[in-house]
Amino acid sequence: MNPLGFPAIPILLGLAMSAANCAADQPTDEPPNFVPWPKQAVFQPGQMPLAGARIVAGSPTLLPLENLLAKEIEAAIHLESKVVDGGPGKPGDMVLALDAGLTGETYRLSVDSMARASGASYGAVAMASVNLLQAIRGEGSAAVLPQMRLDDSPDKAYRGLMIDVARQYHSIDNLKQIVELCRLYKIRYLQLHLTDDQGFMFPSKAFPKAHAQVQNGGKPYTLEELSGLVAYADVRNVTIVPEFDIPGHSAALNRSDPDFWMIRGTKPYEHHASINFARDEVIAACTTIIDEMCQVFKSTPFFHIGGDEADYVFADQNAQFQATFKRLGLGDKAQHELYRRFLTLMDAAVKKNGKRTIVWEGFGHEPDSKFPIPKDVIVMVYENRFYQPDDLIKDGYTIINASWTPLYVLRNLTEYTQKIFDWNIEKFAAFTKDFSATPWRQLPASDRLSGSQVCSWEQPQAVELGNLRWPLAAMAERVWNPQAGKSWPDFQHRLAATDALLERLVHTVHWQCDGLASVEERMFEHSLTLTMSAAVPGTIRFTLDGKAPTADSPAYSSALTIDQQTFVRSGLFDASGKMLGSLTEDHFRKTGK
């Protein structure tokens, strides 16, 4: 079982234990365990000792990265590195530098008597620093870097992960762990599904009632929390992409003010999850919320407006829809045309904020529509039903492969990792329960296919990192350098090492949950046994009342027996009482309660 109580891949788990315990004994002539595998790599005999090494930032722009790398090295191998502001560097140093001769995300890492990570931008240098971190062998004063040269760049620019924070609450600490995961595997974009039927997690000042009735087990984020998360991610070259899912998946808005948001007066039912997108005031309100979100998520070039699965079948009965049909010269049942119009208006609101719109594949190929969807809108293809990916490309759209199979991580299925490794970015498929019988749609290579995204829907935060850490690495491997020609056993070996590194970087307290009747709902019948451990030295402290643990909280010494509804939170503390990294937390419930 893995620390979250799920079946694990036995080979990978065994390799991870070996990598974590025997890093110092790794053969020096074996190539570093890079994930994803770089485009060009030349390895040479020899090593650069890290004892006494300095980290030198060749530009003030790189100072945040310099400090981050020093913290990561200390966490990974228990070696402190002196940081130096400026200077050319000397033998034994790790130098971070901007290089105007490189472009885009291309970077270079060379190690001989000195290590030098360079790129045209902060982000490119940040990716070079990931390889530097992954290449370190040994621990403490015995740590070394193998001599090598990497010249690398990704095949696809959009490498994404989506987390559903609207249906299942995720703390900011948990999201920071996910950011660390993204950094380690060069996942450039982290999409937050901030709004859905269960919760409106963005704290709108203009519409405060929108987030007053969250039903996902948590509270809406504060503006300060979200701004802090954006800053945390930016330093790590991970850009947060907000999603405001409209006009469907909006029951939280309808709940907050039914008379304002809902499509009223329809039979046999009123559309509980679709807002009244025929009403000018609702359109203006959505535009205002987009403006508010863009002020918080300043660093992203993208904004996701959802657009999927909107239910408006009876909307034509609504008086405001009928009035808008008439005003625009449409037919009596033109709600789909108004849906397309709504998407174009939201795209205009996004463009006004200097960003580019992303939308789920929800509209179709309708060349005669009065409201054409602009061709610079990026379409995330997920269900392969409304608008086929090859048709989207043919019609001039840029697309992202978010194909349900195999890129939707729903609960824990251990076969996801290998299935993603065996997949390629030009392959699309709808939902299937049987991978072996999947009917694939294979596209030719195209520059309009800009990347791919793993989507994690409806997962409790307690299982999020455990469920994603291997599948996301596999997607990174396949999208970054699909021509690498590496085998599945080879990938498993490398992933074991990087997964052990992740353990050290997140400093999380790991849980083994025995006795869960429902893993997804975190429910037990009589009692469960909770065992805690940590990959790095420190004291585990915990609480059972939902409060955050402190240096004065009880210290964990033996397995806990949980026999009633309990909100457990734990953290790892050093000798000075400082908490290392993020909290591990979960709400356990007894069946029938």
pLDDT in tens, 318-353: 999 999 999 999 999 999 999 999 999 999 999 999
Q: Long-range contacts of range 226-229, CB-CB < 8 Å, 24 or more positions apart?
A: 226/202, 226/296, 226/297, 227/296, 228/172, 229/172, 229/175, 229/176, 229/179
- Token couple for 84: 């130096």
State mean pLDDT over 542-571: 93
What rounded mean pLDDT belongs to the chain? 91
The pLDDT score that the predictor gives to residue 18 is: 42
Instruction: Check: CB of residue 430 under 8 Å from CB of residue 384.
Output: yes
Residue 540, CA distances (Å) to 186, 439, 473, 545 in order: 30, 48, 28, 16
* Cβ count within 10 A of residue 7: 11
First to last CA, the chain: 27
Supply the DSSP symbol for 220.
Answer: P
| 3-state DSSP of 256-267 | HCHHHHEECCCC
Instruction: Check: CB of residue 259 under 8 Å from CB of residue 253.
Output: no
d(Cα 111, Cα 100) in Å, to the nearest integer? 20
Per CATH, domain 509-590 is 2.60.40: yes
b/e per residue 210-249 (b: at least 16 CB within 10 A): bbeebebebebbeeebbeebbebbbebbbbbbbbbbbbbb
In what helix (H) or strand (E) does residue 587 lie, and over which residues does it extend?
Answer: strand 579-590
Class of residue 557 by CB neighbours under 10 A (exposed 0-12, middle 13-18, buried 19+): exposed
Taking each helix axis as running N to C, give the angle between helix 63-77 and helix 488-506, from 0 to 180 degrees, rounded to the nearest 10: 100
Q: Do domains 158-504 and 509-590 have the same CATH topology?
A: no
The residue behind tokens 């199979």 is: 405
The pLDDT score that the predictor gives to residue 443 is: 96
Our CA dihedral for 126, 132, 136, 139, rounded to 10 degrees, sits at: -40
Report residue 8's pLDDT band, with 50, 70 and 90 as the boundaries.
very low
d(Cα 468, Cα 479) in Å, to the nearest integer? 16
Report the side by side order of strands in the sheet with 144-152: 40-49, 144-152, 107-111, 115-119, 94-98, 54-57, 82-85
User: In 3D, which of 229, 222, 244, 275 has the Cα closest to residue 166?
Assistant: 244
Task: Enumerate the domain spans of the chain.
Answer: 40-152, 158-504, 509-590
State mean pLDDT over 283-288: 98
How do residues 409-449 score in pLDDT, each as one tens digit? Answer: 875 555 689 999 999 999 999 888 777 788 899 999 999 99
User: In 3D, which of 51, 55, 32 has the Cα closest to residue 42?
Assistant: 32
- Token couple for 421: 């490794």
How do residues 80-126 score in pLDDT, each as one tens digit? Answer: 999 998 878 899 999 999 999 999 999 999 999 999 999 999 999 99
d(Cα 246, Cα 345) in Å, to the nearest integer? 12
Q: Give the residue with greater pLDDT, 10 vs 231.
A: 231
Domain at 158-504, CATH homologous superfamily? Glycosidases (3.20.20.80)
Q: Is the pLDDT assigned to residue 181 strictly greater than 60? A: yes
What phi, psi does 431 have (nearest 5°)?
-60, 135
Instruction: Check: CB of residue 251 under 8 Å from CB of residue 272.
Output: yes
State mean pLDDT over 360-388: 94
d(Cα 219, Cα 529) in Å, to the nearest integer? 28
**What CATH architecture applies to the domain 40-152?**
2-Layer Sandwich (3.30)
